[in-house]
Amino acid sequence: MTQQPERRDLRVCAFISLLVLGLVNAVLAQSDGDIHRVNFQDFIYRPSCASEDAEPQIRTRNGKYEVYNDKEQIGFTVSTPAYGDLTNDGVDEAVILSVCNTGGSGQFSEGFIYTMRGGKPLLLARIPGGDRASGGLHNLTVERGLLVVESYAMKDTSGLCCPDFIDTTRYRWDGRKLEQAGKTIRRTYLTSPRDQESQGRLESVPEQLALENYGKQLASSTPNNAITLSIVTKTMEQPMRAYALQFQTAAKELMKDPNAQNDIVAYWSNRGKTELWQTKFCTAQLKQIMTTFKINLVSGRLTDMKGEIQSMAICSSGS
């Protein structure tokens, strides 16, 4: 009679031991395959923006990859990952936002979703983006098991440098692909001091004020004050920081010549004007401001009084 409680106690102890052992093994297995331990800043990616002549895969160092030569022209930047359980299995996925430049003024964004399989990160899905204000990705997060995608949008009369809206769309993972969950919500993208002041939300931004002072100084250096600074706009924060300066002019000598597609003289005249504007805009002083405030790209748009672009300049931290 006295042996039954002892046997029962032994069985309880054995069960508890097995349970503890199972929990320990589960914790060890999770830590071995923990996606939070993956260094996505030093990682191999296969961006959609890479040309046929470029390497099929690229390895970032400290979140960047840059090669500009005769064979390949590509600058690729990734953000710090956002984490969350998208597959409803109790384990987080990693969501990475990237921006790619292939030698021109375009900044093409794309998102990557990684999950863990066999202790290694596996690409689960890509998130298509666009070029800056035309569908470029603003931010990627995970909320309550849903992927939240914020992307830029613009009016038909706006330029690629300057978004007018941010569209927020939520997606659910259905086991094979991402499916939209609910309607897309659009909000106005307030970035300029003028717009913020009109909404009672004006804040002192040192870097924006530095760029504004630079723009005013540049404009005042032109003969007869032919150019005026219209607005300074923050166009992107992650994964790269970008601003746009817009100038206006009524000077005929700064207007682009018409019919440049068919007139070779007009073509070379417009090209010369653009090169002169690039040289005047992207100076050592501007690059110093960019270095001080860790700004990756600043564009300078010169328009006529109707807002039509006459010349565009791009100044990047790597140029």
Q: Which residue has the higher pLDDT, 187 or 33?
A: 187
Q: Which has the closest alpha carbon to 233: 143, 317, 161, 130? A: 161
In this prediction, residue 169 carries a pLDDT of 97
Does the pLDDT at position 143 exceed 70? Answer: yes
Residues 178 and 171: beta-carbon distance below 8 Å: yes
End-to-end CA distance of the chain: 88
- Please report the domains of the chain, with CATH numbers, ordered by start residue: 35-188 (no CATH), 193-316 (3.30.300)
Residue tagged 């979140």 (tokens): 63
Read off the pLDDT of each residue in 184-192 and give the average, rounded to a whole number.
Answer: 76
Whether the bond between 128 and the residue before it is cis, its omega within 30 degrees of 0, is no
Read off the pLDDT of each residue in 48-68 and give the average, rounded to a whole number.
Answer: 79
pLDDT in tens, 159-181: 777 788 889 999 999 999 999 99
Read off the pLDDT of each residue in 8-34 and give the average, rounded to a whole number.
Answer: 49
pLDDT in tens, 194-234: 454 444 443 445 788 889 888 888 888 877 778 988 888 88
* Distances 260 to 200, 245, 256, 267 between C-alpha atoms, Å: 44, 25, 9, 4
